[in-house]
Amino acid sequence: MADELVASGAVADGPAVARLVFVDALRGVAAVAVMLFHLGGHRLAQVMWRQIPVIGWGVRWGELGVQVFFVISGFVIAYSVRHRRVDRQFTRTFLWRRALRLEPPYLVAIVAVLISNEISRGWFATPDVPTVTWGQVAAHVIYAQRLFGYGDLYPVFWTLTHEVQFYLIFILVVGLGQAFSARESNAALLQQPSSASAETYTSREMLLGMSPAWVISTFAVPAVLSGSGAFQANGLCLDTWYLFALGLLSYGVVFARVPWQLWAAVACGIVVFNWDTEQVEPAHKLMGIATSLSLMVAGRLGQLTHWGSWHPLQFFGAISYSLYLVHGIVGWRVLSVGERITGQQPLGAWLWFMLALTTATLAAWCLHVCVERPFMRRRSDRSVG
């Protein structure tokens, strides 16, 4: 149960914070799934899927790893802000640590994409390599390429723009929510006997120091509307807000005062309203709900620090961000080289595909060890983010 995690130091502020190994395991599975999906779309991989169609069918579902990442983000960010008063000083520190977490590997990936494009244009004479402008690169650096009307340098980069927007909206909503909830609580205290003061204040706090009404109006209701496809704006995270909110509400059910009935109502609303839309596919909704539910179950059973401790899962969980960034840049290039050397021979296709997976994983590990991990240490962040 959640109380056991508190007792073990998994929730309390301080050096005893435990690692949420189940979250890392989910990250690892999601990263590998996305890698298989992207590399499985190469022409050389199609040779393998014609031999064993069921594997090709399974690999195509790897795109749902993106939804897993979004739900995890909502859960983890809420976890990292627990017991904190979100004021200006905390906001500056929070955003700085997020930047140190995301930016260094991301900048390396951008440079790798530019180099890869030049190799494709020069050595391989690939005719359809897009021309990149400095404005496009600058927009990517600040995670705003789609807001300025630019295409993505690399297919997965759009998800980072949604992540950053979620961080900004989240910290704003929580900060305002804490301020308004505290004001309401102070007003209520003046009307209550002193013996009821503590109970009055704590009963009004549902999640991260916010009142129930604030949580419902800013997270629950918008999540249902987002999942129904009601919010659509190019370059904004409105159509994925429901995934972040599902993760945040999962955290609330496990660690705060959010009733599971609220989570269930939001999940049902996401499923029922506009079940099959062009904006939000049913599979995306179901994967988001399943991921959120798994986090809740693991948390309520006190297994967030135990489930998924198998070493390979933890390894891929540790390098998941780096793997997510570079798997296509490296792996796709290996497959293209392999196709030029051996053509579309079935045996060669399998060998080159395995080499692409191995090379991409090795590149991600190097990026994690040489870039990501050193900057994570510099953050000196005791959170799980």
| Alpha-carbon torsion (270, 273, 275, 277), positive or negative | negative
pLDDT of residue 131: 83
Which pLDDT score is estimated for 230? 65
Tokens describing residue 171:
């910290």
The pLDDT of residue 50 is above 70: yes
**C-alpha angle with apex 295: 289 to 300, nearest 5 degrees?**
125
Q: Is the pLDDT of residue 354 over 90?
A: yes
Give the span between the Cα atoms of 10 and 132, in whole angstroms.
45
Task: Tell me the whole-structure pTM to 2 decimals.
Answer: 0.87
Residue 56 scores a pLDDT above 50: yes
Average pLDDT, the chain: 84
- Residue 39: partners with Cβ closer than 8 Å, 6 or more residues away: 45, 327, 328, 331, 332, 335, 353, 356, 357, 360
Asked whether residue 384 carries a pLDDT value surpassing 80, the answer given is: no
* Mean pLDDT of the region 280-303: 93
Residue 273 has a pLDDT of: 78
Q: What is the pLDDT of residue 223?
A: 86
pLDDT recorded at residue 192? 45
109 — pLDDT class (breaks 50, 70, 90): very high
306 three-class SS: coil
* Average pLDDT for 91-119: 93
Phi/psi at 210 (5° precision): -105, 150
| pLDDT at 337 exceeding the cut of 80 | yes
Asked whether residue 186 carries a pLDDT value surpassing 60, the answer given is no
Higher pLDDT, 234 or 359: 359
